[in-house]
Structure 1
Amino acid sequence: MRYYAMIITATIIWGSTFVLVKDITEVLGPAWLVGIRFALAAVILALFFFKERDVYLDKRNALYGCVCGFVLFAGYYVQTVGITDTTPGKNAFLTATYCVIVPFSAWLLMRRRPTRFSIAGAAIALTGIGLISLNGDFTMRFGDALSLGCAFFFALHITLISMLTSEKNALAITIWQFAVVGACGLTVAALTEPVPDLARFGLDDVLVMGYLTVFATALALLMQNTAQPHMTPATASLILTFESVFGASFSILLGAEELTLRLFVGFALVFSSVLVAEVLPAWLDKRRRLAAETAS
């Protein structure tokens, strides 16, 4: 349960960032935001865990972290470009289709055949996310195609984390991953975005950057990378879809959105998807064991 709690805590933190990110992108370009946020997170973790430097300076851990970092940056960047040509709700929904892709990417790369429960859970979760995120017509634009494309990168990232990380090397892979995302973000920002005007930065912006860097990046992703090896990729992807639930919940609490029947049903479906994928098969397996013991 400790590892499930860690990933759920991470989704709560990420859910709280939607309004913050929307506000700070008014003074900081998306690539600058990603680059600065991840570069600072890499430095913070490297300094905080300096005594563990032998682990994160290991060549194999560095290679694994770089691979995960490139894939994660691709997901973030494609998602950011995609949202410029679509609505936030459609972007969030199409991104969350990774929960359907992960069982099959894990099957392809890890030879873990998806169960009917994990596929059913993913479909239920996707329906719930659609109710939470989508509003109005669903016509496909170029930004929608990019948003769908980023889901493949996020699905690959979730699968790679399950393949390459363990509790022993999670810290090392996280640090290298942050360093690569930060370097890629700063490079793209320098080539495609204007230099940020620091005079426009207020105390609120500094506090938001601090929260995004320390909690939403360093802490949350370290918790994900530490906990994920203790569950299947399909399970992790379903739990991660709770980010959309918590994101909408924080919007309601902050007065940016109203709680409607549609949202409530969406929340219930996302929650029930985990029950279908995890609790139901465990309950059925327990019943089968009890029946077998009774028969014998």
Structure 2
Amino acid sequence: MLTQRKADFIMIVAVLFWGLSYVLTRYGLFDLPVFNFMAIRMGLGFLIAALLCIKTFSKINKETIFAGAVIGLFLFLTLTGTNYGLLRTSISNTVFLVSLTAVFVPVFSTIVYRKLPEKKILIGTAGAAVGILLLTLTGISGFGIGDILCILAAAAYAIHILLSKKFVSSKKIDALNLGIVQLGFAALYAGICTFLFEEPVIPQDQTVWFAIFFLAIFSIAFGCVAQIVVQKYTSASHIGLIFALEPIFGAIFAFIVYGEILLPLQIIGAAFVFFSVIWIELNVNDLKKIKMKKKAV
């Protein structure tokens, strides 16, 4: 069984891959229409995850299928907003704005459950919000449709996180199967939109195929499934705040690959986000116990 800290660490690794995914997605979108690209990467991610977990996946039930159809829709909406946003704004702007999920989760959670998160979460969220504000306001020149789509994507993913937490709390739903099924439905929705709004295309470039397989394995099969599984062992607020690390990872990869440079205020904003997540993960009581033991020795 996972501890909360181990679950949070797995989420941090997943967010690292999601940060890298923006760079690779930009490659894919050079050659493929948005829905076409999404359908292929999500479809491959679904097949890979299902085959690797075939014993568990063969025991899927109707409750899990229904839940997968619901959260798969919000995953699809998140990727749609993110991918179209990438075509209309910079990688740095995209990851900064999509990371507003970290702010939306506690806000939506408070509205739905009519209960404020614990004080530590509120402080961390406020710090992350300040950081994202600095990252965003200094990184956007002319607020456009791409930026709006990214914010809508952040809201959709916040809803996805909250719904996932609710579904995995049910004894009838297996978290691993739910994580896999959502990928299949997201691929299905993207496939339908491909045939309705685009002309289906098979990638010809080897670089695009590399991007697709990397995204399918690490960003989709591992990242998206891991997020669902670990939510049994950590809170939605923790997941949302760890997600705030994504702009830092994304900005680093954007700098390495495309030479996008952070401004001084953006670096300060990144520091706010980073230390806000550290604050959430830091257990003050454990530190006090360690200090007391050292004094006793």
| Matched residue SS, 1:257 | coil
Structure 1's unaligned 5+ residue stretches are 292-296
2:17 aligned with 1:10: no
Q: Output the CA distance in 2 between the equivalents of 1:287 and 1:108.
A: 34
Asked if residue 229 in structure 1 is aligned to residue 223 in structure 2, the reply is no
Give the TM-score of the pair, scaled to structure 1. Answer: 0.84
Give yes or no for the alignment of 1:193 onto 2:198: yes
181-190 or 137-146, larger mean C-alpha shift: 137-146
Which residue type is aligned with residue 24 of structure 1? Answer: G
Q: Is the 8 A contact 2:96 2:136 kept in 1?
A: yes
- The 3-state SS of whatever aligns with 1:159 is helix
CA distance in 2, matches of 1:79, 1:16: 14
Q: Secondary structure at the match of 1:217?
A: helix
Match of 2:28 in 1: 24
Correspondence list, 1:139-178, <5 A: 139-165=142-168, 169-178=174-183
Task: Note the C-alpha offset of 1:125.
Answer: 1.4
1:66 maps to which of 66, 69, 94: 69
SS in 2 for 1:129: helix
> 1:68 touches 1:161 (CA, 8 Å); kept in 2?
yes
RMSD value, Cα: 2.8
1:294 is matched with: none
Percent identity reads 26
Say which SS state the counterpart of residue 16 (structure 1) adopts: helix
Aligned equivalent of 2:106, options 103, 108, 117: 103
Match status 1:215 vs 2:218: yes
Mapped to 1, the partners of 2:57 and 2:90 lie a distance apart of 43
Report deviation, 1:229: 2.2
**Distance in 2, Cα, partners of 1:178 & 1:253:** 29
SS at match of 2:232: helix
TM-score, length-scaled by structure 2: 0.84
Counterpart Cα distance in 1 of 2:256 and 2:243? 21
Aligned equivalents of 2:13 and 2:67: distance in 1?
Answer: 25
Structure 1 residue 88: Cα displacement: 4.3
Residue range with higher mean Cα deviation, 161-170 or 151-160:
161-170
Code of the residue aligned with 1:32 in structure 2: it is N
Structure 1 residue 251: Cα displacement: 2.6
Residue 33 of structure 1, aligned match among 29, 33, 37: 37
Preserved CA contact (<8 Å) 1:161 1:229: no
Distance in structure 2 (CA, Å) of the matches to 1:97 and 1:157? 14
CA–CA distance in structure 2, aligned partners of residues 112 and 213 of structure 1: 37
Q: Is the contact made by 1:16 and 1:250 (CA closer than 8 Å) also made in structure 2? A: yes
How far does residue 187 in structure 1 lie from its aligned partner after superposition? 0.9
Counterpart CA distance in 1 for 2:140 and 2:109 is 32
* Other-structure match for 2:284: 283
SS of equivalent to 1:195:
coil
CA distance in 2, matches of 1:37, 1:181: 10
Contact 1:89–1:135 (Cα < 8 Å) also in 2: no
Residues 21-69 of structure 1: CA distance to partner in whole angstroms, max 9, x if unpaired? Answer: 111211111111111111121122222222223432x111111111110
1:113 match: 116
Verify the 8 A CA contact 1:104 1:114 in the aligned structure 2: no
CA deviations on 1:145-193 (whole Å, 9 max, x unpaired) are 3332222211111111211126971211012100110000111111112
When the two structures are aligned, how many residues end up with a matched partner? 285
CA contact (8 A) 1:96 1:126 kept: no
Whole-Å separation in 2 of the counterparts to 1:115 and 1:41: 36
Aligned 8 A contact 2:168 2:228 in 1: yes
**Partner letter of residue 178 of structure 2?**
I
